[in-house]
Amino acid sequence: MELGTSAARNFPSPASGRGTVPSPRLLSHHIWSRSTQCAVSSSSSPAGPVDIRSRFSARMTTAHNTGTPDLVDFNWDVLGFQLVPTDFMYLMRCSSDGVFTNGELVPYGPIELNPAAAVLNYGQGLLEGLRAHRKEDGLILLFRPHENALRMRIGADRLCMPAPSVEQFLEAVKLTVLANKRWVPPTGKGSLYIRPQLIGSGAILGVAPAPQYTFIVFVCPVGHYFKDGLSPISLLTEEEYHRAAPGGTGDIKTIGNYASVVSAQRRAKEKGHSDVLYLDPIHNKFVEEVSSCNIFMVKGNVISTPLLTGTILPGITRKSVIGIAQNLGFQVEERNITIDELLGADEVFCTGTAVVLSPVGSITYRERKVEYGKNQEAGVVSQQLYAAFTAIQKGLVEDSMGWKLQLN
């Protein structure tokens, strides 16, 4: 799939102040004005409407050692997984009848919220995460954004929130990525992390659905999630706290799911571990997931991952890795996995949009530390799946799955 003409190519030069007419697919939600200028509302810019395209073009520079003219001047070699403010973000609010309309690109920055906003008082909010990669030829690829749009709609239904349509979600993501195209790292230096959010922005005092909702998309260039890159990580098994419970919201990407893991995660890191492995809340023996990613185990030619029973997030990377593993000839099982089984595995790895596919070097359970692999190196199966997954994600091989979305 392709997105017509690149928005970046329609940005004028500083001298002309005017460019060609953008693709019709870029005209939705009134983002582009009749004069082909992308205006920012006066609430976002005290000086009134701003020609975003002129600003974008004027600020384009050549990056360190890349020779690519549409990259920001940035040291990509030190890129980690921290917030790097970019140029623009996308905002769209729902009307009184719950229909989202009139989205717009605005300069990246703070948003205004009433202290009584439902998201601040009752946690009525969802988030998503996906990535954009730059190919050698400069084209930008998205990976399965349709799945993120669908997952947000499922989560919104659970939290009694209206949600953007799949088409609105995809268009917002495309526009935000193209407006920040100069922040997509060079090939092999990282990716552009995309964070769509849906929040109850309307003010309300009692516990009830908010009267207004805001959909936001911002982006940030990122490197590896864990500081040691692809080196195997260390997990500490948590028995006191649980990430989710049956009948709760563990299977949707609600913001509260992540606040609840911070305490256990901090304790684990203080003990020298990378992250926390959570067990089920009923028997306290079945493996569920890590703080922000799914988990897999390898035993012979069988790859197993915990069954989705309502307490585990249905990860898009998880789903993709299962498909790739099956195509490579592995037997894949989705089932309940005990902690003892996991400790006896040949290999263990985690998957997620942020972590991609991270091999696990050790798991500590009740003071017992079990190590996987030799010399802290990723296992053979983990390396094989990582290579196959990232090759598709980065456009290095033919996409027989139809997972990539190309932005020209």
Residues whose CB is less than 8 angstroms from the CB of residue 228 and which lie 6 or more positions away in sequence, other chains included: none
Q: What is the maximal distance between C-alpha atoms in the chain?
A: 68
Region at 71 (left for phi over 0; alpha for psi -120 to 50; beta for the rest)? beta
- Contacts of 28-35 with C-beta under 8 Å, sequence gap 24+, read 28/103, 28/168, 28/171, 29/92, 29/101, 29/102, 29/103, 29/104, 29/168, 29/171, 29/172, 30/102, 30/103, 30/104, 31/103, 31/104, 31/105, 31/175
Alpha-helix runs per DSSP H in 204-304: 256-259, 262-270
Can you count the helices (H) and strands (E) in the chain?
A: 9, 18
Q: What is the spatial distance between Cα 12 and Cα 177, in angstroms, rounded to a whole number?
A: 18
Which residue type is seen at 348?
V
- Rounded Cα–Cα distance for residues 408 and 401 (Å): 20
List residues bridging with 290 in a β-sheet: 277, 293
Q: Parallel, antiparallel, or unpaired: how do β-strands 356-365 and 233-238 relate?
A: parallel
Instruction: Give the DSSP per-residue string, 228-250.
Output: TTTSPEEEEEESS--S--TTSST
Nearest to 388 by CA among 303, 315, 328, 304: 328
For residue 28, give the DSSP letter.
G
Beta bridge partners of 235: 275, 363
Distance CA 31, CA 170 (A): 14
- Is residue 253 part of the annotated active site? The answer reads yes
Q: Which of 189, 253, 394, 404 is catalytic?
A: 253
Q: Which amino acid is at 196?
A: P
What is the Cα–Cα distance from 153 to 212, expressed in whole angstroms? 16
Hey, which residues are catalytic here?
A: 253
